[in-house]
Structure 1
Amino acid sequence: MKPSLPVQPNHIAILRLSALGDVCNLVPTVRALQRQWPNARITWIIGKGEHSLLAGLSGVEFVVYDKSTGLAGMRALWRQLAGTRFDVLLHMQQAIRASFLSLGLKADVRVGYDKARAKDAQHWFTQHQLAPHPKAHVLESFMDFARVLGIEDDHLEWNLPVSDTARNEAKVISGEKPYLVLNPCSSARISNKRNWSAEGYASVIEHAWVQYGLKTVLTGGGTAQERETGDQIEAFCQPESVINAIGGTSLKGVLALIDQARAVIAPDTGPIHMANAMGTPALGLYASNNPNRTGPYLWREFAVNVYPEAVRTYLHKSVEDVSWGQRVRHPSAMMLIKTDDVIAKLDTLLAHTISAGSTGSTDED
């Protein structure tokens, strides 16, 4: 017999290891759970890099799993939680590795995605599935875990912690003048085809400098590809228009930079969702992924969206004929984005935030 869901859980486990953008999109679900049950313990099993971004999140106990440690790391985590039993485990990671990890956790009931949304046979590892929610944004899919427990107050709240150390780090990099943040590269995984051209980025940077007096801070990790891209962009720009901080910041430092930026420009990668979480205007560049599913949630209308064109060009189908979440993994897909369209969207985004009286959130309270 399928176990029933708890009416008032005392200890909730969340299993979501990655990625940076996804864990940002999950935080409003955590806040909804906390509003409903302020005395409940929440334990979040999370990846190492993702923890470095969210460390200090109020009311959450983190258990860190470093996937590079493999089975030995799984066993160590199981030993760490051997004496803990959860009222409910919210299995939010659609990956076979995470499902195997879940087998060593003790829980009265395990909740996962409905069969239509589950990947890697995740529904085999859970006892209770979400109600169907066709064409849901990733953030909405996470919030469905709160809704299945009976939570009705699902307004969006983040309150990500940013330390004084991170703010000082950001201030040293950016100086005192207003700026944009541009994170040009997505994850370095070979399957990701989300990076735009250095020339295109440079043209947008020069426009922001000439028209608005806004410098652009380049952010990103320290991989060879990211450093090379940053150097290429910088070579196309006037020295005074750009600050190349790629590989030179902590994740908390990037979060602090984003918090004080006039806007963030990026493809579908962590910083565009970090901007959304901080209430900073976000201009996403989308060709490989559908922004209606993975775009910065509060700023989707400002995304440059050539995904329908990419589907037609490289999959020879219409958006209506492909599955929700279908990706276009063609290396030229992002080249469908036109520089003039990005500049026009930036102008619209900046005009919108100025007229709204702030550079901050369109929060849905």
Structure 2
Amino acid sequence: MKPSLPKKPRHIAILRLSALGDVCNLVPTVRALQRHWPEARITWIIGKGEHSLLAGLSGVEFVVFDKATGLAGMRRIWRELADTRFDVLLHMQQAIRASLLSLGLKADVRVGFDKARAKDFQHWFTQRQIAPRQHPHVLESFMDFARLLGVTDDRLEWNLAIPETAFDEARALAGPAPYLVINPCSNARLRNFRNWSVEGYASVIEHAYRHHGLRSVLTGGGSAAEREMADAIEALCPPGSVVNAIGGTSLKGVLALIKRARAVIAPDTGPAHMGNALGTPTLGLYATTNPRRAAPYLWRDFAVDAYPEAVRTYLDKSVEEVSWGQRVRHADAMDLIKTDAVIAKLDALLAHTAAPSITGVSDES
């Protein structure tokens, strides 16, 4: 017999360790839970880097797991929470590492994804599942956990914490003038292939500078590959049109840069969803992943979508013939994104947001 869902939970656990974009997409679910049960405690078990992005999120107690610590790190968390029993555990990570971590947590009921979405046998580790849904966006998949518990007010609210020191960091890098944030690289993962071309980015930067008077600030981590790409982009750009901040900011500093930016351009990576969370106009570049599932939620209409062409070209199928989460793992797929298409979307995005106002986003987001 399945355990009952709590009518009025006093302590809710959220288990979602990664990644940066996903935790941004999860925050509206946290806010929905807080509105419905303002007295409930919420404990979020989260990854180390993701915590550095969301630290200070109001009303949330974080327990941080560093995946580099492996089983020892899990045992530390189990000891830390040994005397804690949750009314409900929302297991929102489809990965065996997170499921193993969940085994040492005490909860009256464990909620996970429906079987179709429960990767890595996650359904073996949960007792209740969210309702199946056809073709959901990632953000909607997370919100389905709150809906299962009876939450009906699913307005989108983020209200991320950005300290003044982060804004000082952003001002020192970008100055006062309007600018774009361009995060050219996604996380370096095996067969990830989400990065667009150096030449494409350089052409968009030149267009933004000459036609809109906008400099571009390049953001990203400090890996050798990211630095190399940023240097190559900068070398092709007009003098004064770009600020190379790769590896030069904290995650809170990136948030502050994005908050002050006129717009964000990025492939399928965390800063695209940071822009979405902050209400900053965001242009996503998609070919290897489906933007209907993973584009910045409030800016899906402005995503450059070469995914159907990539599916036809490299999988020899139509979008309707592949699974909802299917990725196109081909090194040339992002080359299907044409510079003219990106420039046209940027022009449309800037025109649409000349006086930015996005329905559904809290003024405090």
Q: What is the TM-score of this pair, normalised by structure 2?
A: 0.98
Q: Which runs of 5+ in 2 are unaligned?
A: none
d(CA) in 2 for partners of 1:76, 1:40: 25
**1-structure distance, mates of 2:162, 2:168:** 10
Quote the residue 1:178 is aligned against: 178
The answer to whether structure 1 residue 361 and structure 2 residue 358 are counterparts is: yes
Residue 259 of structure 1: aligned partner: 259
Match of 1:289 in 2: 289
Alignment match, 2:300? 300
Give 1:32 shift: 0.2
Q: What number of residue pairs does the alignment pair up? A: 362
Query: Which residue number corresponds to residue 13 of structure 1?
Result: 13
* Structure 1 letter corresponding to 2:149: L
Q: Corresponding residue for 1:90?
A: 90
> Aligned partners of 1:193 and 1:125: how far apart in 2?
31
Letter in 2 for 1:131: A
Secondary structure of residue in 1 paired with 2:240: helix
2: distance between equivalents of 1:12 and 1:249? 33
Alpha-carbon distance in 2 for matches of 1:283, 1:274: 12
Q: Which amino acid aligns with 2:178?
A: P
- Residue 362 of structure 1 and its aligned partner are, at CA, apart by 4.0
The root-mean-square deviation of aligned C-alpha atoms, in Å, is 0.8
Q: Which residue of 2 aligns with 1:113?
A: 113
Query: What SS does the corresponding residue of 1:239 show, helix, strand or coil?
Result: coil
- Contact 2:191–2:330 (CA under 8 A) maintained in structure 1: no
Q: Is the 8 A contact 1:280 1:361 kept in 2?
A: no
Do the aligned partners of 1:283 and 1:345 also contact (CA within 8 Å) in 2?
A: yes
Which position in structure 2 is the counterpart of 1:53?
53
4+ long deviations beyond 6 Å: none
Is 1:242 matched up with 2:242? yes
After superposition, residues 178-217 of structure 1 pair within 5 angstroms as 178-217=178-217
Q: Which residue does the alignment assign to 1:275?
A: 275
Q: Which residue of 2 aligns with 1:38?
A: 38
Aligned to 2:340: 340
Percent of paired sites with the same residue: 76
Deviation (angstroms), 1:239: 2.2
Query: Residues 279 and 363 of structure 1 are in contact (CA less than 8 Å); yes or no, is this contact kept in structure 2?
Result: no
Per-residue deviation, 1:2: 1.1
Counterpart for residue 67 of structure 1: 67
List gaps (5 residues or longer) in structure 1.
Answer: none
CA distance in 2, matches of 1:86, 1:157: 25
Q: CA deviation at 1:190?
A: 1.8
2:138 match = 138
Aligned partners of 2:198, 2:111: CA distance in 1, in Å? Answer: 43
C-alpha distance in 2 between matches for 1:330 and 1:197: 14
Mapped contact 2:91–2:110 kept (Cα < 8 A): yes
How big is each residue's C-alpha offset from its partner over 1:238-286, in whole Å with a ceiling of 9 and x where there is no partner? 1200000000000000000000100000000000000000000000000
